[in-house]
A = this chain, B = another copy of it.
Amino acid sequence: MNPLNDIFEGILKKNHLSITNQRKQIFDSITKLSPTSTSTLINDLTQIDRATIYRTIDLYIKLKVIKKIYIGFKYKLELSDLFSSHHHHFYCIKCHQIIDFDEPDDLDNLINNLSLKYSFKSTEHRLEINGLCQKCKEV
């Protein structure tokens, strides 16, 4: 019924991994709270042992169900591009709000040019912008 859940369970099945209650609950929490942190998950899912939460997060990162992003001065966890469109983050240094923005059209060109200039092959990139959001910049 839920398309995100279908993708998620499909990934587990494809890798011959069990669909357990704990794994479902952790996935659901990340979906609801994304982006969130490990400690938030530990605090919210008190019925699940922390060791399980750490192990599951590692697993999800390996399976590319989620990814780590760097916002402000902390890591957060969010669903991978398999579940939502490729985007980046603006972080308001005053109110700590996070605004997602779509991949800019010209970023691809920019990275291609860099790849040529520096002879590397890009497989992944992150653009993180900090500053003041609309409300905070007016004050």
Contact = CB atoms under 8 A, between A and B. Distances in A.
A130 interface: yes
Nearest to A104: B110
A137 interface: yes
Interface residues of A, number: 35
User: Which of A92, A110, A119, A120 is packed against the most chain B CB atoms within 10 Å?
Assistant: A120
A114 interface: yes
Contacts of A131: 115, 120-124
A132 interface: yes
Interface of A: 68, 70, 73, 90, 92-93, 99, 101, 104, 106-107, 110-111, 113-115, 117-134, 137
